[in-house]
Chain A
Amino acid sequence: MIHFVLLISRQGKVRLTKWYSPYSQKERSKVIRELSGMILSRGPKLCNFVEWRGFKVVYKRYASLYFCMCINQEDNELEVLEIIHHYVEILDRYFGSVCELDLIFNFHKAYYILDEVLIAGELQESSKKTVARLVATQDSLVEAAKEEANSISNIIAQATK
């Protein structure tokens, strides 16, 4: 299973963290520090696997972002590499050629999409279309809720005048 997912920018800034195994806040920041040091220092065109504390971290760089997933020794590295690519493709499709800024300002959406791709550290949906469809429906639900909220707040605003 995947223990955690990290998105780190080339400058070492964290863009997304999702933990499927229990780590305390202290451990989390330690893990991020260790791994970003390790992965960012690796040159381009090297292999995408790093051994770390008895685990394996599979990472891949897309533009300025490093997508990292931590797995067990006996898990399949190539499979995880495909999962990363799968997630990136879905993001790309959703945002329309995704860039780092998209993920910065829509961090919650990055999480929601990730939650449709992975659950409990396992891949749950291998179809990009299905994920896109689910996310789109959720978005429309959110939009509807927003409109409703706006109208309610209008009412309140008028009532308090």
Chain B
Amino acid sequence: MSGGGGPSLMDSLFQRTLDDLIKGIRLHLPGAAQSSFISKSLDEIRREIKSTDSQTKSTALQKLTYLHSLHGIDMSWAAFHAVELTSSPSFLHKKTGYLAASLSFRPSMDVLLLLTNQLRKDLSSTNQHEASLALECLSVICTPDFARDLTPDIFTLLSSGKNSIRKKAIACLLMVFSQYPDAVRVCFKRLVDNLESADNVQTLAATVGVFCELASKEPRSYIPLAPEFYRILVDSRNNWVLIKVLKIFAHLAKLEPRLAKKVVELICDHMKQSEAKSLVFECVRTIVSSFYEYEFAVKLAVVKIREFLLDSDLNLRYLGLQGLLLVAPNHLWAVLENKEVVIKSLSDVDRNIKLEALRLVMSMVSDDNVVEICRVLIGYALKSDPEFCNEILRSMLSTCYRNVYEIIIDFDWYVSLLAEMARIPHCQNGEEIEFQLIDIGMRVKAVRPELVRVGRGLLIDPALLGSPFIHRILSAAAWVSGEYVKFSRNPFEIMEALLQPRTNLLPPSIRSVYIHSTFKVLSFFLHSFLLPGKGVNSSLSNFVDIEPGFTYSESEQEFTEIDHATSSSGLNKRDTFTQEAVVNMLTLVITSLTPLAESHDVEIQERVRNVLGLAQLAQQEISCNHDQKEKMVDKVDLKTSIIIRLINDALSEDFGPVSFSAQERVPVPNGLVLEENLSKLDSLCADVQLSISESFSLVKPILLPTDGDSISNQQNEEESETSPAESMSLLAEHRKRHGLFYLPSDHNKNASSSFPPANDPNQRDNDVEDLVKLTEESLVLKRKPSSSRPRPVVVKLDEGERLPITVKKTDENDDLISGAVRDVLLGNEASLRSSNPSGRRKGESHSKDKVENSETGNLSKRRSKHRNHGKNVEDKEENSEKSKKKSGGRHKARRRADGGIDVAVQKQVIPDFLL
């Protein structure tokens, strides 16, 4: 006798209690000691939990629950024991079991099936505390199976006489509906009944809470209930309830303007009278987000917002700013009215408030005030801590870039602003500035002289080379100076800047951009010297022909004149291309670059050798010429001249932005299988790819989507797409790997839809910026560009360049729920249309009936059958619903007629539902 009971008795006598465990954990220092203590305790628990004594088991489970919820220890292995304890007759053990279940159970666990019967038993228990344990547990771990099997029990509890049970059952419904939409057909009517019975505030609050959540997902179905909600809005004095009802109306009013008209004054009354800030704020939010057409209401709301803004409570100030942000899209005046407060909030102590203020400031930006606002913001950026400083810069950059620099009129100013940003000590937005400098260079021809001037300023400053954050910007400056060197007043100076000793601080990828720019500058210089009045001039005059009358033409004409003039006018400029200067430059190039010819970096090495080759050739010939002193005659026939002419021809071609659909327009030749041989390449290169793409600099790195979902979507897309699209993605892939060889203009920001990761705006920068973008987009898009002002041409490509609109996919489940709700509501009220053909409904109710009855029979087999059946019906209904919506008003009359029959059929059926 003692042999069998011995160990378990010993266990229970000397078992560590929960207190012992907690004290033990607190005694051991965090780290190795503590975790070894925990694992020792776990071993004990494993032994104790198998005990036949339910007290021992319960204590063990309680300890395990503690470890699970506060130390993240896995307890899925003990799930069975938790189920066991829920069926204990002792309330203590039952409670422990349920606590463990609700904290640790997952929908995927097999053991859940074992809990169904116990839940049912407890739900129908006469002890309300047992029922509430079961309801609480169900509200957390509800699965489709639970929801389906327990719907009848919850239905019963919905009209329980005990309020504490009824409200819990109501709150539970939300979970049940989301797991098993068919439950709507059973329980919805009673849920509505609870809305009408105003005897208990708590049940009403719970009911309104459920409707609030449901309506936030798919509001349309709940419009028929508007009279009920209206009554609550009028009668209720409970702020919790009112806040939820306001939320519901915020959703409904968007769909039904007549409703809005009816409630708007009521909401204003609440706003005026209420003492509770939470309710006032909810009124404000409801008005400005859904009732913004009612001027008087908005005015009142803005008054309240202003009160919030001027309050000493930081929370209210924060909410005030949020309210303004909501008003901004439709009533910008409200923001402008409170401009000072907003600007002042930029230097608040709380970072969150600063961010809100920044968003608001950005929402005010338009083409009229962008200069002014940016000036203010730069001032704040200089004063702020590094983190917020970068936040400001980022918002400015993204706002100005929006819709391809829509709000920028004076590009000369904007380019110098970019340079100014680069010089802000904490600037970490090098990548974005780099991108925009190059992008503007390619898109806006008129700004190139200024761009070169700005680029020179950046390049020439040796101090900037020391800061790694600015390297990317310098890379852009170097590229711009090389590419548009013809606008430079002093190419020699640029050459010096590009070759200054401190460039050895640059990473190789950027250094190679520098070296390539020296190549361009050198060839321009030689060309101007050897072939004056030829290629460069013609290209320049072409330029003028294309875009006459812009700011740059002044400086250009200067050049043209100089080059044409053989006499001594403009001596200084002429001097630029003297023989001496050329020789000096060649010496400079050769002496500075020769050491790099042995560089370990291939990019640098290759480019250096190119430059050196040209320089050495030119040096030989030109210094020979120098002796003969016949330069003017022979220059044209030199070998160098021929080469230079060729190089210059190659370089003189203008880079422009490339449309992302360009590749798609190229037809795939017959018989060419694009996937062949290449598909394997992808998997082979997968590892290498990342590291390679990092080392190139000119193209913005493509951010891969972080969640597995979109990756798989992308894969699916790639698999299913036809060959042109396939080639697009391969191209993009290639571009990613060999970024440097592509024009920086094919910026991934503007990608077309065929390469999802690159064009998703959400993945570009951090959340805040996106939010700023979002809030503003709606504001600025509506503004008409003031066409009267001269604005340089900004090259835009076809619509493919624009960011694609992401389509929001609604949850399938929500559709199912709202479909069912509509059926129930419309069917019962008989006043509106019903969309179900009557025959189908009959079948439906039939199956429902069986589910109800199956309670008693052997469950599992039939259950799955019915479930499938139900699902199918749902699906079909969905389809029919949709197709009807599409077909519009034509069938309205017929639908009405259908509705009549429908209701008749339903009336026969309903009693079965309602027990």
A16 touches B69 (CB 8 A): yes
Query: In the docked arrangement, what's the CA distance between A114 and B55, Å?
Result: 24
Q: Contacts of A47 on B, CB cut-off 8 Å?
A: 314-315, 317-318, 350, 352-353
Which one of A16, A43, A49, A125 lies within 8 Å of B315 (CB-CB)?
Answer: A49
B318 touches A49 (CB 8 A): yes
B139 touches A120 (CB 8 A): yes
The number of inter-chain residue pairs (CB within 8 angstroms) is 163
Q: Enumerate B364-379 residues with CB–CB distance to A below 8 Å.
A: none
User: Smallest distance from the beta carbon of B505 to chain A beta carbons, Å?
Assistant: 34
Q: Contacts of B314 on A, CB cut-off 8 Å?
A: 45-47
Q: Contacts of B205 on A, CB cut-off 8 Å?
A: 123-124, 126
A145 touches B90 (CB 8 A): yes
B90 touches A76 (CB 8 A): no
Select the stretch in A62-70, A88-96, A149-157 that faces chain B: A149-157
Query: In the docked arrangement, what's the CA distance between A1 and B214, Å?
Result: 11
A119 touches B171 (CB 8 A): yes
B319 touches A126 (CB 8 A): no
Interface string of B190-225 (1 = CB under 8 A from A): 000000000001100110011001001000000000
Which one of A1, A25, A45 lies within 8 Å of B72 (CB-CB)?
Answer: A25
Q: Is A50 an interface residue (CB 8 A)?
A: yes
Query: In the docked arrangement, what's the CA distance between A51 and B136, Å?
Result: 29
Q: Is A104 an interface residue (CB 8 A)?
A: yes
A122 touches B278 (CB 8 A): no
B22 touches A104 (CB 8 A): yes
Q: Contacts of B201 on A, CB cut-off 8 Å?
A: 126
B282 touches A76 (CB 8 A): yes
Q: Contacts of B164 on A, CB cut-off 8 Å?
A: 125, 130, 134
Q: Is B167 an interface residue (CB 8 A)?
A: yes
Select the stretch in B93-101, B422-430, B459-467, B551-559 that faces chain A: B93-101
User: Smallest distance from the beta carbon of A50 to chain B beta carbons, Å?
Assistant: 7
Q: Contacts of A126 on B, CB cut-off 8 Å?
A: 201-202, 205, 238, 240
Q: Contacts of A111 on B, CB cut-off 8 Å?
A: 69, 99, 103
Which one of B172, B243, B351, B352 lies within 8 Å of A119 (CB-CB)?
Answer: B172
Q: Is B767 an interface residue (CB 8 A)?
A: yes
Query: In the complex, which range does the number of interface residues on chain B fall in?
Result: 35 or more
Query: In the docked arrangement, what's the CA distance between A31 and B240, Å?
Result: 28
Query: In the docked arrangement, what's the CA distance between A24 and B92, Å?
Result: 28
Q: Contacts of A16 on B, CB cut-off 8 Å?
A: 69-70
User: Smallest distance from the beta carbon of A115 to chain B beta carbons, Å?
Assistant: 5
Q: Contacts of A141 on B, CB cut-off 8 Å?
A: 91-92, 129
Q: Is B1 an interface residue (CB 8 A)?
A: yes
Which one of A81, A145, A156, A157 lies within 8 Å of B91 (CB-CB)?
Answer: A145
Q: Is B469 an interface residue (CB 8 A)?
A: no
Q: Is B53 an interface residue (CB 8 A)?
A: yes
Interface string of B157-183 (1 = CB under 8 A from A): 000000010011001101100000000
Q: Contacts of B140 on A, CB cut-off 8 Å?
A: 19-20, 120
Please give me the residue from chain B that is nearest to A15 by CB atom. B70
Q: Is B633 an interface residue (CB 8 A)?
A: no
Q: Is A78 an interface residue (CB 8 A)?
A: yes
Query: In the docked arrangement, what's the CA distance between A50 and B72, Å?
Result: 24
Query: In the docked arrangement, what's the CA distance between A19 and B54, Å?
Result: 28
Q: Contacts of B65 on A, CB cut-off 8 Å?
A: 108
A153 touches B53 (CB 8 A): yes
Q: A115 and B136 in contact (CB under 8 A), knowing A126-B205, A142-B91?
A: yes
Q: Enumerate B98-114 residues with CB–CB distance to A below 8 Å.
A: 99, 103, 106-107
Which one of A22, A119, A149 lies within 8 Å of B136 (CB-CB)?
Answer: A119
Q: Is A144 an interface residue (CB 8 A)?
A: yes
User: Smallest distance from the beta carbon of A127 to chain B beta carbons, Å?
Assistant: 8
Q: Is B281 an interface residue (CB 8 A)?
A: yes
Given contacts A79-B282, A105-B18, 10 further A-B contacts (CB under 8 A): A54-B767, A74-B285, A78-B281, A112-B99, A120-B139, A122-B206, A124-B206, A126-B202, A138-B95, A145-B92
Residues of A at the B interface (CB closer than 8 Å) are 1, 14-20, 22, 24-25, 28-29, 43, 45-51, 53-54, 74, 76-79, 81-82, 104-105, 107-108, 111-112, 115, 119-120, 122-127, 130, 134, 137-138, 141-142, 144-146, 148-149, 153, 156-157, 160
* Cross-chain pairs A/B with CB under 8 angstroms, 16 sampled: A1-B174, A16-B70, A29-B72, A46-B351, A51-B355, A78-B281, A81-B278, A81-B315, A119-B135, A124-B205, A126-B240, A134-B132, A144-B91, A145-B92, A149-B92, A160-B6
5 closest A-B pairs by CB: A78-B278, A145-B92, A47-B314, A120-B139, A145-B90
